[in-house]
Amino acid sequence: MNRVHIKTYGCQMNERDSEAVAAMLRARGYSIVEDEGEADVVLLNTCSVREQAEQKAIGKAGHLGRRKKRNPNFLVGVMGCMAQNKGADLLDRLPDLDLLVGTQKFHTVPDHLDNLIASLQGQGPRPSTLVDLEAEAGSQNTIRDHVPGERQVSAFVSIMQGCNMKCSYCIVPKTRGPERGRPIDDIVAEVEELAAAGTREVTLLGQIVNQYGVREFPFVDGKSPFVQLLERINAVEGIERIRFTSPHPSGFKQDLIDCYGRLEKLCEYIHFPLQSGSDRILKAMRRPYSVEKFSRILEAMRERCPDLWVSTDVIVGYPGETQEDFQLTCDAFERIGFDMAYVFKYSVRPDTAAEPLGDPVPQEIKEERNQILLDKLQAHSLRRNQSLVGQTLEVLVEGPARRGENRFTGRTRGFRKVVFTGSERLVGQLVPVRIKEATVTTLEGELVLSGVDLDKVPASV
Ligand code: SAH
Ligand code: SF4
Ligand code: F3S
């Protein structure tokens, strides 16, 4: 009864929450299995950001419920944003669930599973669904553990929880609650432990990372708590690269812009969500910046860091988005030149400010706008990737590629994926790779180690 499979939907914060739950369960004697078919317990860590994300998880939970009918000892739990958003109403749709755990209660999962299993084994009454959705002070400090002994070359670190912005379309403030930052020392200690275990790259996570700690911790020498945190992590021995996601254009001040080119471990890459290229729509979305201001921040970063790679999020088909508004988004794409973008079709979310506006833009128009942006993006990404052919870049080797003998993958500082022939010994190292070919998504490279036997490469190249 101790094999648990966790399936994760949604964003990197959810992935990180699932990892932390896995670490806590292992510490309690559970084993985490990759194969859902082998599991005694399946936990779904869910997302509510678009309706489709919820539908997927509900479909999956329904399917798992049928497996419970064949095996009454099989346990199914739903955790995370959808549990928080729908609450106990979810049990009308999914009456067979054993466990429903909200976004501030991930750390209670081991206790709940222990109790459920004890009652299945006849040591207590079989409980009805365990529901744990309350807010909990300090819950941001519970997403800390990583599985011991499992080396992550690149690791996520959640530095905060929640969001205080009120973007009109977004359900996250409801599912994740208000902004709460973890203490700097605690985050730095986590990064030091990761570095000691072999991690070389950290990605700092928060719904709005540049707001980290602004209400809890003081500014020092005009530097925000987030910039102080970046400086501290930049000094951690063993960590070679720092990334973060997602920042918000409001509150993206000079102290953060100045980090580019100053903190040598901060990578030349930023995920910078634009959402729309039309000021009118940005205003309706309650995103308090103009396209002009967004572009100025990026230009200032590019001045310090000419090699900057930029990705973004955009929503198409927000209520009232006209052809002219969409054209402005296309123009912004052309002008700014995003190297990667996540384009989302607007989805009405319950209890958001935009909910009463309905969903007036027809699905076919959303599809069409989505496709137009993806085509622009592909053309730009291909051009930019091809500009790397012939260059030798620093690649952090992450592990074996999905296909091919002795094939490995890694990333450049600009977050481009590189595939090349190498050796297991290089995993976790920074190696020079010459780029030979480029597609929209991947670079094909060759290690620059002429005449060296890869199996004899020393621990540091
Ligand atoms: N905190 C991050 C985003 C979190 S949600 C930020 O502000 O950048 C990830 C992305 O999902 C958002 O950037 C937005 O582009 C998209 N999104 C959020 N709500 C949506 C909705 N109702 N419909 C479609 N896309 C949405
Ligand atoms: Fe949602 Fe806006 Fe907060 Fe991002 S900043 S999580 S889009 S409310
Ligand atoms: Fe989804 Fe929750 Fe992340 S709604 S996008 S999993 S914060």
181/122 same-domain check: no
Q: Within a domain: residue 146?
A: no
Q: Within a domain: residue 441?
A: yes
163 carries a ligand binding annotation: yes
Rounded distance from Cα 241 to ligand 2 centre (Å):
26
263/170 same-domain check: yes
Q: Domain ends where: 372, 387, 402?
A: 387
* C-alpha dihedral sign at 359, 363, 369, 371: positive
Which of 129, 227, 225, 131 lies closest to 179, judged by CA? 225
47 carries a ligand binding annotation: yes
Q: For a pocket test of ligand 1, which of 47, 315, 348 has the largest count of ligand atoms closer than 8 A to its C-beta?
A: 315
11 carries a ligand binding annotation: yes
Pocket of ligand 3 (CB under 6 A): 10-11, 13-14, 47-49, 81, 171-172, 175-176
Q: Within a domain: residue 190?
A: yes
Q: Within a domain: residue 215?
A: yes
Nearest-ligand number for the alpha carbon of 18: 3
Task: Report d(CA 193, CA 177) in Å as an integer.
Answer: 28
**What pLDDT, on a 0 to 100 scale, did the predictor assign at position 451?**
46
Looking at the structure of the chain, the number of domains it has is 4
Q: How confident is the model at residue 211 (pLDDT cuts 50, 70, 90)?
A: very high
Q: How confident is the model at residue 388 (pLDDT cuts 50, 70, 90)?
A: very high
329/358 same-domain check: yes
Pocket of ligand 2 (CB under 6 A): 163, 165, 167, 170, 172-173, 207-208, 248
What CATH number has the domain bearing residue 407?
2.40.50.140
pLDDT, one tens digit per residue, over 331-369 is: 999 999 999 999 999 999 999 999 999 999 999 999 999
How many CB atoms lie under 10 A from the CB of residue 362? Answer: 10
How many CB atoms lie under 10 A from the CB of residue 35? Answer: 8
- Work out the percent of the chain whose per-residue pLDDT is above 90: 90
**What pLDDT, on a 0 to 100 scale, did the predictor assign at position 126?**
62
Query: Phi and psi of 387, rounded to 5°?
Result: -65, -15
Q: Within a domain: residue 139?
A: no
Q: How confident is the model at residue 460 (pLDDT cuts 50, 70, 90)?
A: very low
**What pLDDT, on a 0 to 100 scale, did the predictor assign at position 300?**
97
Helix axes 323-336, 291-304, angle to 10 degrees: 10
What is the atom index within ligand 1 of the atom nearest the CA of 348?
Answer: 22
254/349 same-domain check: no
Nearest-ligand number for the alpha carbon of 273: 1
292/379 same-domain check: yes
231/307 same-domain check: no
**What pLDDT, on a 0 to 100 scale, did the predictor assign at position 454?**
55
More confident: 68 or 185:
185
208/257 same-domain check: yes
Contact in structure between 130 and 99 (CB atoms under 8 Å): yes
- The answer, yes or no, to whether residue 213 has pLDDT greater than 50, is yes
Q: Within a domain: residue 403?
A: yes
Q: Domain ends where: 355, 387, 419?
A: 387
What CATH number has the domain bearing residue 68?
3.40.50.12160
197/305 same-domain check: no
Nearest-ligand number for the alpha carbon of 352: 1
180/290 same-domain check: no
Task: Report d(CA 332, CA 90) in Å as an integer.
Answer: 41
236/300 same-domain check: no
38/98 same-domain check: yes
**What pLDDT, on a 0 to 100 scale, did the predictor assign at position 450?**
57
- The answer, yes or no, to whether residue 168 has pLDDT greater than 50, is yes
Q: Within a domain: residue 382?
A: yes
Mean model confidence pLDDT for the chain: 94
Amino acid at 417: K
What CATH number has the domain bearing residue 330?
3.30.750.200
Q: Within a domain: residue 380?
A: yes
Q: How confident is the model at residue 20 (pLDDT cuts 50, 70, 90)?
A: very high
Average pLDDT over residues 115-120: 90
Q: Domain ends where: 246, 267, 288?
A: 267
Nearest-CA residue for atom 4 of ligand 2: 207
Average pLDDT over residues 36-59: 97
* Three-state SS at 66: helix
Q: How confident is the model at residue 72 (pLDDT cuts 50, 70, 90)?
A: confident
Domain span holding position 160: 151-267
260/359 same-domain check: no
- The answer, yes or no, to whether residue 461 has pLDDT greater than 70, is no
